[in-house]
Amino acid sequence: MSTALVTGATAGIGLSFVHQLAERGHDIVLVARDRARLENVSDELQATYGVGTEILVADLSDRAETGKVAERLADQARPVDLLVNNAGYSLKGRFLDNAIESEEAVFDVLARTVMVLSHAAANAMRERGHGAIVNVSSVASFIASGTYSAAKSFVTVFTEGLASELKGSGVTATALCPGFTHTEFHDRAKLDMSSIPDFMWLDSDRLVRDALDDVAKGKVVSVPGPQYKAIVTALRVIPRPIVRANAASAHRPGRRRKS
């Protein structure tokens, strides 16, 4: 039986990942900050799917705690076959209006943690000759809208480079780039998303099913939903000054684009 480690495992896309992976027979290592929520999810997975679970309580904005997760990924005595770097959050204000300490913390979670955990997992997996890494990025990585967009751009490009480095090793790396998805993310960040039309929203369970299919195919960039596939295709060819202008007009104080 294989083992998957999922960060941000107690809500949203991460919770969909752990349920679908457990349903497929994977044991699950659950990583998040809230022990009570981790224990609830762990109990549910064991009762529903009969899989083994392990809890790692970690604040991924803290380098020492991130290091503990990296050590777990590097442990060849307890191999992790699939890493899902999903943990993340967004700040409500614009970059220049936020405290730099807050911006540093969110960057550590969105970008630095992905790099550190991918390094640990990829080296361990490459030594064994198999494995997969999923780094949850965003359609926002193709635009230019604040530090969230910038951090997700790092995740997408970093994953593309990692996939090239791992080619032929038996290990794959996939950047998952969803658009707006129904989760508690926006409520927790106190973001007003009322202007987003219904057709732009994705279902997290369907998103994860499609993503796991893409991982099985070895796809490097996975964009769920036909609407977002079309958007990303356009963003790859539209001149960047136009992309920047549209992002600037959409980015207003008190609201943050998120995917």
**Residue 189 has what pLDDT?**
47
**Is 84 among the domain residues?**
yes
Q: Quick check: is 85 in a domain? A: yes
158: in domain: yes
* pLDDT score, position 69: 98
Cα separation of the two ends of the chain: 32
Does some domain include residue 259? no
Closest among 74, 152, 138, 47 to 109, alpha carbons compared: 152
Residue 218 structural domain: 3-250
SS3 3: strand
Cβ partners under 8 Å of residue 257, min gap 6: 140, 143, 145, 148, 149, 247, 250, 251
| 256 is a domain residue | no
Tens digits of pLDDT across the chain (259 residues) = 699 999 999 999 999 999 999 999 999 999 999 999 999 999 999 999 999 999 999 999 999 999 999 999 999 999 999 999 999 998 988 999 999 999 999 999 999 999 999 999 999 999 999 999 999 999 999 998 889 999 999 999 999 999 999 999 999 999 999 988 766 554 554 555 666 767 577 899 999 999 999 999 999 999 998 899 999 998 888 888 988 887 765 544 433 333 3
Q: How many domains does the chain have?
A: 1
CATH number at residue 192: 3.40.50.720
Residue 40 forms part of a structural domain: yes
Tell whether 258 is covered by a domain.
Answer: no
Is 28 contained in some domain?
Answer: yes
Helix (H, G, I), strand (E, B) or coil at 55: strand
Give the pLDDT of residue 197.
62
Nearest to 9 by CA among 56, 66, 74: 56
- For 72-139, what is the HEC assignment? HHHCCCCCCCEEEECCCCCCCCCHHHCCHHHHHHHHHHHHHHHHHHHHHHHHHHHHHCCEEEEEECCH
Which positions are catalytic?
148
Where are any strands of DSSP class E within the chain?
3-7, 27-32, 53-57, 82-85, 131-136, 171-176, 221-222
